[in-house]
Amino acid sequence: MRIVGVGDNVLDRYIDQGLMYPGGNAVNVPVLALRFGAEAAAYVGAVGDDEGGSWLLEALGLEGLDTSRVKVLPERNSYSRVALVDGDRTFVGGEKGASSKLVLTPEDLGFIHDFDVVHTSIYSGIEGQLQELRASSRILAFDFSNEFDEAYLDRVLGSVDYAFFSGSRMFPGARDTEESELEAFLARVEDRGARLALVTRGAKGAVLRYGGRTWRQEAVPCRVVDTLGAGDAFIARLIVGIVSGEEPSLALREAARSAAATCSYYGAFGHPRAYRPVAE
């Protein structure tokens, strides 16, 4: 299986450590998919011409990603400021930077077409070129996180094959009510064209709708150091499993284990480097 991430990247600056880690949903998923057994992975996006952008590109190279279609722009690289509260990551500001300036060219789209899975996200600002990206994708995977509304779903879901949602706070209320609302939500996503729909819920586990069935997976207990990247690890391992022909129950179980393992270290996939706070 070959996977390419298209869109957002970010440097996660941990304010209590003075360290930055490469990340962003469209970066994390292909990096982690490659670790989980994908044959090849690439990233198409835009980085800054500053120290942070250079470090992000270097880290992707160390991970074995093809970055030949990454654009280096005369901007600061995108970054977020991260605080950890009992291991749970909290974003406390940042700057969109170069990542938000990505414009896909015909050459980019031709490159993307050679991959089995194209992964992007709500943070990638790619909606204006989504139809072009759809036409270049065999399987288009999209992470909606928890930032969407119904109008956004109407706009995007018709172009998406695999839809991912962060749902730890999506359905507040009694357990029975939460479960019925979750199933109704997944049915709506499926009705709008998604062949696979996943809601991850942190310690509550995950629910998958795929092949006309609903699958549930409990969270794997672990010692939590940092939750950043856990959802992306779950997504990456699930994609690798499903596209490679694993039974959904097995793919879900291994995805949960992968997410738990990601919680045991800082950053989405490591590679810390010191940064100068004055640059903010």
Helix axes 230-243, 248-262, angle to 10 degrees: 150
Under a CB-based contact definition with an 8 Å cutoff, are residues 236 and 257 in contact?
no
- Measuring CA to CA, which residue among 147, 161, 215 is closest to residue 189? 161
pTM of the model: 0.94
Domains: count for the chain: 1
Whichever domain contains 259, its CATH number is 3.40.1190.20
With a cut of 70, list the residues of the chain below it in pLDDT: 86-89, 171-177, 277-280
pLDDT at res. 51: 92
pLDDT at res. 119: 98
Reduce the DSSP state of residue 20 to 3 states and report it: strand
Which range of residues forms the domain containing residue 47?
2-279
Alpha-carbon span 27 to 105, nearest angstrom? 19
pLDDT at res. 278: 46
pLDDT at res. 88: 67
- Measuring CA to CA, which residue among 155, 30, 13, 29 is closest to residue 97? 13
pLDDT at res. 279: 46
